A and B are shown apart, each in its own frame.
Chain A
Amino acid sequence: MADTKTGVGASVRRKEDLRFITGKGNYTDDINLKDQTYAYFLRSPHAHATIKSINTAKAKKMPGVVGIFVGEDVANDKLGGLICGWGITSKDGSGMKAGPHPVLAQGKVRYVGDHVAVVIAETKEQARTAAQAIVVSYGVLPHVVDAAKAMKSKVQVHEVASDNRVFNWSLGNEEATNAAFKNAAHVTKLDIINNRLIPNAMEPRAAIGSYDTGTESYTLYTTSQNPHVARLVISAFHGLAPEHKLRVIAPDVGGGFGSKIFIYAEEVVCVWASKHIGGRPIKWTGDRSEAFLADAHGRDHVTKAELAMDASGKITGMRVHTIAALGAYLSTFSAAVPTYLYGTLMSGQYDIPNIYVEVDAVYTNTAPVDAYRGAGRPEATYVVERLVETAARELKQDPAEFRRRSFVKSFPHQTPVIMCYDAGDYGAALDKALEMSDYKNFAKRKAESAKNGKLRGVGFSAYIEACGIAPSAAVGSLGAGVGLWESAEVRVNPIGTVEILTGSHSHGQGHETTFAQLVVEKLGVDINSVSIVHGDTDKVQMGMGTYGSRSGAVGMHAISKALDKIEAKAKRVAAAVMESSVDDVEFKNGTFTVKGTDKKMAFGEVALQAYLGHKFNSSEIEIGLKETAFHDPANFVFPAGVHICEVEVDVDTGLTKIVDYTAVDDFGNLINPMIVEGQVQGGVAQGIGQALLEGAVYDEDSGQLLTGSFMDYNMPRAANMPSIENFRLGFTCTPCPTNPMGMKGCGEAGAIAAPPAVINAITNAIGVREIAMPATPLTVWTAMQANKKAAE
């Protein structure tokens, strides 16, 4: 190891934090361009309506108005609509039914918050005031907001989908699975709702679009997790400009959780409209209310799940049917989430010979639904872990031991649902979690709680997820419209400092620190001599961005490859300068030595020589020290672990408190344990949010979003978390065999693992089979009342 304090494996303090916590971050809204104007989006107040007419005459004359654009202007200019970049084929072989998704509504609005018009003015206030003067005549239509009702509804959200069904997708062997159920000795059945969530990154979305009339090129500053993908889509599908005439910059971004992967109407409109107002830049900064209404939401599944077991209690089959709401339009990756990111994880950590999953994706008159922290894997884990827990209880087996008996125990393990698990030791994580949580004394703690009028319960979640998405050929064959590699460039400056240009994008993950640690490890340079450059398509040549916990396993792997090339090149330079053979040059701790001699050169000296070119033949060795690499992963990576949650439920009020939480995770080798712990804690907080607090509610009658602010949408607070001494984190390690760092992904695990752990604990505490998320005091109290009645 080059440097134990700042190399791989060290808990280095985050280099970026000083900047962020002292208010020196540079976010999109902090950027102001010369002659900038401001955009305000007029949004649909209706869940579903035709637009009969839009009159902007009066609004156009309002003070400060620079321009007003509506759907017709977009259509006349032939600006393409928003796309879904993943095509799903239905069971019957038909294609996905994608309705049109214009950036400004054309003839129809389909959810409350849909974009109807944009007003551009000298100030934000003027734009908003003028928008109120636009007269839109709507023909209000009936709507459907409930996923479970969409296919039976008379309402038709898109013409292409008569029963509102986007696709009917299946995975696994139906016949064999049905046979397993026929022969089963015991079947466990559950009806499961995975509640709709609203991401709520701390920084709302924002964009500045500008057009340079001189160079005839566009620049877009935007809150994106993947600026290159934004450039690709806006060029190739919206047809705004070829890629070399469009620069996309995603500066500091204040959290994404998936919601900033997607290409949104607002950013496309801002960059498009700039040309139509003579090239003046247009800034749009969403407010929190707009974030609630128009950011892509997450989850929203209605599922029927069954588990079959033989007489010995061995799991023989799983059958799942899910209705997944995708909202009013197909967002950028929406179709992939309830399919290949969901059905493929149904085997969990278990050896299940037969699995069949069928998914009906439906349109509803709600905000689009797409990837949100975990994206499909939390939904899958919730199904698997609720089923397994319930089965264990029905078979009167200890839930820990039932899991252990059912675990996959040898690797690689091919599941019946595509995934091939490469490495793991699920029993080790279970042992550690049982030990850390003092499971054997749970009964004592339960009795103690009972004395205080509290019902104590314990719940398990043995999750697995697939991240580091993904082998390009594999995802291509499954419908992805892009390859999911990553690229990196390493620029060594003549004085030996290092710039890493990466296609990964940091919006809270701490890449400026962890990526630098890899450079320290490999080149032996000081961590302060390394800078990480990302988020600008003019600087970084290519990239697929950050989501699905891929920046470590895929992004760092690309950097690692480029660093290997740097080392190889530097060795050739060093050999020439030290007049020896390349084979005799060794590189360790930042120093090149020649075997059997006392000759040596520091990394910085070699870098300088590489640029001077005085001491080698530049026709044999190219001047300079700069390398590029693309990395396409060989497989997903498979983080897994066991989380154990203990709750106390107040009998009188139904209030649930998480009194104890143990998370044991196997992320392979850790680059920066402190950052990993933060990711787990944050992920668990989000998972607790889903289980206890958060839930987007659309009113059935009006189609309005009832949870449109923090007054009604309950984000997790510190007080909802277990106390820090009862929030235990542990790690096990089976290194990942498909990347040189042996690492897996850690960014989503907490959000994936926590919801079933919490709900299993609550159902255990109050003695019910099922309870809906979020398990609010009202929900829990109501379940206890029903239970009481049933017992009477």
Chain B
Amino acid sequence: MENFNYHRPATTTAAAALMKKGKDAKYMAGGHTLLPTMKQGLAAPTDIIDLTAIKNFSGIKVSKTSVSIKAGTTHMEVATSKEIKKAIPALAEMAGKIGGVHVRHKGTIGGSVANADPAADYPSACLGLGATIETNKRKIEADKFFTGMFATALKDGEIITAVHFPIPKKSAHQKFPNPASRYALTGVFVSQDAKGKVRVGVTGAAATAFRATDIEAALSKDFSAKSATSVKIASKSLMTDMHATAAYRANLISVLAGRAVAAAK
């Protein structure tokens, strides 16, 4: 790892200002994606701007209609939140499946969403629940947020401050972990809202998380496991690597969607 300047601003404004000033500055939240890449020499920022000292940067607020999670909230806090477990149990369960205990105690929702790893878990929840990502500048719908592999709608220097999830009628998350890394080889988040609108967020299968619209259509007509698994997913735009072929991932999407529907509560 190379040397860098370390900053610990107390406000998002100060953080954004530091970002402008730095030659190759990077925000850091839990550091559990950033630090490993720095250790491997894949990133060598000149300045690290630690966001975790920003006031009110973490915390969970649950209203009648939505769950709001501030960007600095750790996966562990989400996984163990009594309020989230009540409002959207699948979201807490999903957070509880991220990495191991150490990772969950450090990694944050903001870092995970900003990083947009194609195999990360949160993007499937964001799409599967129709979340809104709030930044220091604006609000962005999840559907428009994930734009490519490790790519998002965030502009240079923009800071995620919170993620808002509408509370569905029922939902469930299914993850088939990569046997080695335990990230999602494919993960599916299914929800159905009070009006019967269905969302199916998929991660791990393509360059970026996406909605499985074919399965959504099928489930809108018939919200049953069989209805999900009978949809044949096209493998054309899916990834092939040493752990899974596109065809295998296509199969996992319908299998996991079916299991999610069966488990939805």
Which residues of A line the B interface, CB within 8 A? 289, 652-655, 693, 697, 706-707, 710-714, 776-778, 781-782, 785
Contact = CB atoms under 8 A, between A and B. Distances in A.
Contacts of B247: 785
Contacts of B176: 653, 655, 777
Contacts of A777: 176, 179, 248
Contact of A712 (B242, B244, B252, B255): B242
B251 A781 contact: yes
A782 B180 CA distance: 19
Contact of A710 (B40, B180, B252): B180
Given A713-B180, A714-B180, 6 more contacts: A652-B255, A707-B242, A710-B180, A714-B179, A777-B179, A782-B245
Contacts of B251: 652-653, 781
A778 B251 CA distance: 11
A654 B255 CA distance: 12
A785 B252 CA distance: 13
Contact of B243 (A654, A655, A776): A776
B181 interface: yes
12 contacts: A652-B255, A653-B251, A654-B248, A655-B176, A693-B179, A693-B180, A712-B180, A712-B243, A714-B179, A777-B248, A778-B244, A782-B245
Given A652-B255, A778-B243, A712 B248 contact: no
Contact of A778 (B40, B181, B245, B255): B245
A256 to B, nearest CB: 23
Given A778-B244, A778-B245, A653 B255 contact: yes
Given A652-B255, A697-B242, A712-B242, A778 B180 contact: no
A777 B251 CA distance: 12
Contacts of B244: 778
A785 B243 CA distance: 17
B179 A776 contact: yes
A713 B251 CA distance: 23
A706 B176 CA distance: 21
A63 to B, nearest CB: 12
Contact of A781 (B40, B179, B181, B248): B248
Contacts, number: 40
A166 B245 CA distance: 36
B181 A782 contact: no
Contacts of B243: 712, 776, 778
Contacts of A706: 242
A269 B205 CA distance: 46
A146 to B, nearest CB: 15
B31 to A, nearest CB: 17
B245 A712 contact: no
Interface in B212-265: 242-245, 247-248, 251-252, 255
B182 to A, nearest CB: 9
Task: Identify the interface centre among B40, B179, B181, B248: most chain A CB within 10 Å of its CB.
Answer: B179
Contacts of A653: 176, 251-252, 255
Contacts of A781: 248, 251
A727 B180 CA distance: 23
Nearest to A710: B180
A567 to B, nearest CB: 54
Nearest to B2: A129
Given A710-B180, A711-B180, A712-B180, A782 B242 contact: no
A654 B248 CA distance: 10
Contacts of A289: 40
A714 B255 CA distance: 24
A654 B247 CA distance: 13
Interface in B162-185: 176, 179-181
Contacts of B252: 653
Residue in B176, B180, B243 with the greatest tally of chain A CB atoms within 10 Å: B180
Given A778-B248, A781-B248, A781-B251, A711 B179 contact: no
A653 B185 CA distance: 12
The 9 closest A-B pairs by CB, nearest first: A714-B180, A711-B181, A652-B255, A714-B179, A778-B248, A778-B244, A712-B180, A697-B242, A776-B179
Contacts of B179: 693, 714, 776-777
Contacts of A776: 179, 243
Nearest to B229: A652
A78 B97 CA distance: 56
Contacts of A714: 179-180
Contacts of A693: 179-180
Nearest to A692: B179
Nearest to B259: A652
A716 to B, nearest CB: 10
A781 B176 CA distance: 14
Contacts of A655: 176
Interface hub of A653, A654, A710 (most chain B Cβ within 10 A): A653
Contacts of A707: 180, 242
A714 B182 CA distance: 10
A781 B251 CA distance: 10
Contacts of B180: 693, 707, 710-714
Contact of A782 (B40, B248, B255): B248
A693 B243 CA distance: 11
A712 B247 CA distance: 20
Contacts of B245: 778, 782
A289 B262 CA distance: 42
B227 to A, nearest CB: 16
A211 to B, nearest CB: 31
Contacts of B248: 654, 777-778, 781-782
A172 B103 CA distance: 55
A160 B18 CA distance: 60
Nearest to B185: A777
Contacts of A654: 248
B127 to A, nearest CB: 22
A710 B252 CA distance: 23
Interface in B77-124: none
A653 B251 CA distance: 8
A671 to B, nearest CB: 37
B210 to A, nearest CB: 20
Contacts of A710: 180-181
B150 to A, nearest CB: 15
A461 B248 CA distance: 31
Contacts of B181: 710-712
Contacts of B242: 697, 706-707, 712
A714 B242 CA distance: 12
A692 to B, nearest CB: 8
Contacts of A713: 180
B79 to A, nearest CB: 18
A782 B247 CA distance: 9
A712 B242 CA distance: 9
Nearest to A779: B248
B126 to A, nearest CB: 23
A289 B251 CA distance: 33
Most buried by B among A654, A781, A782: A781
A713 B182 CA distance: 11
A711 B40 CA distance: 13
Nearest to A713: B180
B61 to A, nearest CB: 35
A709 to B, nearest CB: 8
A460 to B, nearest CB: 25
A653 B181 CA distance: 18
A711 B247 CA distance: 22
A706 B181 CA distance: 13
A774 B140 CA distance: 43
A776 B243 CA distance: 8
A567 B111 CA distance: 70
B33 to A, nearest CB: 12
Contacts of B255: 652-653
Nearest to B181: A711
A646 B20 CA distance: 60
A707 B178 CA distance: 13
Contacts of A782: 245, 248
